Structure 1
């Protein structure tokens, strides 16, 4: 390592925690770490994540050159490299550290770093390719898109951005594709099965949600054990008789579109043979398309439509959920499943490029240019006019991302007409619509340019002699 004119004290960057760090919690959720999964926390600091992961039943070891030099350094299915690359001032050593972590990885490497938008939180001066802090530590801050490219270049593996500042590198295409499939196609949840009748009901439920009968390999052991006495033809007949044909047909359409979105996203890293796909996706292709080649052609056409401004705009104007404006379509996350396949693909492309933030409420899809923003309104359900807490955006033409926090703002942006962001069948729509209609009658929307922020909205409420009690508009005393 190159000698520095100052003594870097990396060990001072390790902080104590009572629970899991954000990247570790994200890895547990995304990679579906089950009891017994082997995990190595490479650069574990004071070991908070190691202790918390052990409490979840995982087989965890931790190693840190300063705090845990005697820790067990062994290969594991999942390796965590959390906020380690930031504190290494020598680019060559930074690269070697990433290579070492990758060498211990069997299935997936989770890399987490601090990002450039955190610069205003760090006191210090520029030094090398980072910041020498007031605590005599070093911080190299990454751009969100830069991190994925860097990890791919060093490891030689295909990577996926999970969240801003969190990237997964997979040892095999099978592991990566399984991860993508879980995030694009709905999770398989099976009903409890204690006898033959309840097991058949579970199969019927799968048929109505997926649009096809499950294969034996897809069923939980609890279900297969109960149905062992039934021949496949008999089970098929019982399920077809008990199912709602309308639900099955609608589910088949959804599953076919989910498959197209998955195949379009897969093209980013080169498309492999059908046998490399997760089994449920293979079975969906067999059920809903004439061949794998035909499904791929349709997915490619879907991807090409993202370049067609007129097509994207028509998809937005005819969307079954969301609020269409002069520049973009805004959709609450509860209504995201109702938008068209091309718009879902639009949002997925942005998430792969720069990561989808863990906390968001409304997604904004631009039709003037190509960009996606995830907006966080934490009190959307309880506040009649929820305040914006943060915004994370990615420009798909430049792959640059920006993050804005309104935590310290005294005049935050807020939402009106909440019902417009949801799907029409959402159970909260009638309540939100009644409030909007009352506000229109009271004259509160006569000056729309004034009501977009807290201060302007309060002034209009005062001018009209109104106040809010929950989702009810009342006269101000």
Structure 2
């Protein structure tokens, strides 16, 4: 934990805030998230406000970032100057004075010129914090304080203090952008990542990269959408020549599929944008603007269609039909379960369902399976760390977001002696996933051996092991073999 970032004298001097600062060798989870989300890009200045012992500062410096850190106890001489990115990492939860907590957040927001990254410990960590009730939190035996936030509480609190829309990046991590265009660009990056370009080393490969883009996006790019190296190699051609080359080289069917996919992706983005606050056309990222111009008669028409998509998310029958029609995932009487490798292959309304939950309360960094309920509109991200290696992976955590209340909760199975586990792994994946044949062979062997005759028993470790013993079988990797008698 960090020391506090407030500059004034504490009203309750018995609280030893600096004792919450821990030594760490690697980056904190919120800073890893900001790196993954490209918020700590090269050329951006960073201020770690309330940096504690400075582990994130040192790690970011090793990565080549321009970063300063300040902390009232450990780095009182650090520079407090405006920066593109301000990190307020596990600071708000250690300040016992609500007024000072608010001032600290306001100051951090004032210092951020591009984005403020705020993180806090969450209510489900209460079992790790022992103490007595104190103000709006807990006072530990070490005289440290913790105010544990609910995910929706953190989002609401930061929006209230900053007066800006907040995007949930992960559980307990939110981003606040100074510029609305930057917020919309981040949403686009989360919902519809930019198509990656093939490398261009000469004219031939540059043309191949252009054709590949057109086939995947369904439209030609504008010059300022094109990587500089590719643009320079293609500059020798006139516009008409490039169009002819693409027309002669691109597969029309593939281009049509790309156009259909981009149209649906644009509707998905605009629907998510409405869920989190829609801006004018000119504030959209350039690539989205071009998609709208290419595949819709107008921005208004695109918004109308995306609004209808968002309304369909409320229709239980429509959502259930989409789940029945999905070519990926395992459908049960209560939910659709989809592996993260197949999540973008779900019908568009189901992708919207999952994205709305992630934008509302943050998608966890580690997860393997997304669970979408038929009714009640709730998404759970289930972490099976050994999904690929373990023939029957055991669950580690479940993070649930209720889209009606926007409340979130986490369940940990790390100390459970009889964890739930998965069967028929191939059913969670897309049919063309390269691992499907191997997983399916195992399922067929297990069914043939009689291991699925008692489905009510095999959902947990103990029950599954008992059935293996009953059938005289054991597992070696993804192979079912006869059990050797003791």
The answer to whether TM tops 0.5 is yes
Distance 2:93 2:39 in 1: 26
SS of the equivalent of 2:88 reads strand
Within the candidate set 28, 49, 52, 1:21 is matched to 28
Within the candidate set 446, 449, 459, 2:456 is matched to 449
Alpha-carbon spacing, 1:269–1:394, altered in 2? closer, same or farther (3 Å): closer
* 1:84 Cα deviation from its structure 2 partner: 0.2
How do residues 57-136 of structure 1 correspond to structure 2 at under 5 angstroms?
57-136=64-143
Name segments (4+ residues, structure 1) moved above 6 Å: none
Alpha-carbon spacing, 1:3–1:88, altered in 2? closer, same or farther (3 Å): closer
Alpha-carbon spacing, 1:7–1:476, altered in 2? closer, same or farther (3 Å): same
Work out whether 1:178 is the aligned partner of 2:195: no
2:5 alignment partner in structure 1 = none
The answer as to whether partners of 1:36 and 1:57 remain within 8 angstroms in 2 is no
Stretch deviating more after TM superposition (19-28 or 293-302): 19-28
1:396 alignment partner in structure 2 = 403
Within the candidate set 16, 19, 22, 1:12 is matched to 19
1:302 alignment partner in structure 2 = 309
Tell me the alpha carbon deviations over residues 248-283 of structure 1, each in whole angstroms, 9 at most, x when there is no partner: 111111111111111011113432221110000000
Distance 2:396 2:264 in 1: 33
* 1:246 Cα deviation from its structure 2 partner: 2.0
Distance 2:141 2:363 in 1: 32
The answer as to whether partners of 2:276 and 2:359 remain within 8 angstroms in 1 is no
Tell me the alpha carbon deviations over residues 271-324 of structure 1, each in whole angstroms, 9 at most, x when there is no partner: 222111000000011111111111000000000001100000000011110001
Tell me the alpha carbon deviations over residues 312-370 of structure 1, each in whole angstroms, 9 at most, x when there is no partner: 00000111100011000000011111101100000011111110000000000001211
Tell me the alpha carbon deviations over residues 456-476 of structure 1, each in whole angstroms, 9 at most, x when there is no partner: 000000000111111111111
2:356 alignment partner in structure 1 = 349
* 1:48 Cα deviation from its structure 2 partner: 1.0
Distance 1:471 1:81 in 2: 45
Distance 1:100 1:391 in 2: 35
Within the candidate set 367, 373, 393, 1:386 is matched to 393
Work out whether 1:311 is the aligned partner of 2:349: no
Distance 2:156 2:10 in 1: 28
How high is the TM-score relative to the length of structure 2? Answer: 0.96
1:293 alignment partner in structure 2 = 300
Number of equivalences: 477
Distance 1:180 1:3 in 2: 38
1:458 alignment partner in structure 2 = 465
* 1:176 Cα deviation from its structure 2 partner: 0.3
Alpha-carbon spacing, 1:5–1:292, altered in 2? closer, same or farther (3 Å): closer
* 1:224 Cα deviation from its structure 2 partner: 1.1
The answer as to whether partners of 2:11 and 2:97 remain within 8 angstroms in 1 is no
Within the candidate set 41, 45, 58, 2:48 is matched to 41
Alpha-carbon spacing, 1:135–1:25, altered in 2? closer, same or farther (3 Å): same
* 1:52 Cα deviation from its structure 2 partner: 1.1
SS of the equivalent of 1:126 reads strand
Alpha-carbon spacing, 1:324–1:172, altered in 2? closer, same or farther (3 Å): same
SS of the equivalent of 2:84 reads strand
SS of the equivalent of 1:311 reads helix
Distance 1:6 1:109 in 2: 28
Tell me the alpha carbon deviations over residues 40-71 of structure 1, each in whole angstroms, 9 at most, x when there is no partner: 10101111111111122211111111111110
1:421 alignment partner in structure 2 = 428
SS of the equivalent of 1:264 reads helix
Within the candidate set 149, 157, 160, 1:150 is matched to 157
2:237 alignment partner in structure 1 = 230
Q: Gapped runs of 5+ residues in structure 2?
A: 1-7
The answer as to whether partners of 2:39 and 2:85 remain within 8 angstroms in 1 is no
Alpha-carbon spacing, 1:362–1:99, altered in 2? closer, same or farther (3 Å): same
Distance 1:3 1:73 in 2: 20
Work out whether 1:261 is the aligned partner of 2:268: yes
2:195 alignment partner in structure 1 = 188
Work out whether 1:210 is the aligned partner of 2:222: no
SS of the equivalent of 1:364 reads strand
Distance 1:247 1:127 in 2: 63
1:365 alignment partner in structure 2 = 372
Distance 1:237 1:58 in 2: 44
Tell me the alpha carbon deviations over residues 134-162 of structure 1, each in whole angstroms, 9 at most, x when there is no partner: 21100000001111111011000111000
* 1:188 Cα deviation from its structure 2 partner: 2.8
Distance 1:172 1:186 in 2: 20
SS of the equivalent of 1:131 reads strand
Alpha-carbon spacing, 1:41–1:6, altered in 2? closer, same or farther (3 Å): closer
* 1:18 Cα deviation from its structure 2 partner: 1.2
Tell me the alpha carbon deviations over residues 388-422 of structure 1, each in whole angstroms, 9 at most, x when there is no partner: 01100011122221111111111110000111101
How high is the TM-score relative to the length of structure 1? Answer: 0.98
The answer as to whether partners of 1:322 and 1:329 remain within 8 angstroms in 2 is yes
The answer as to whether partners of 1:208 and 1:248 remain within 8 angstroms in 2 is yes
SS of the equivalent of 1:303 reads helix
2:439 alignment partner in structure 1 = 432
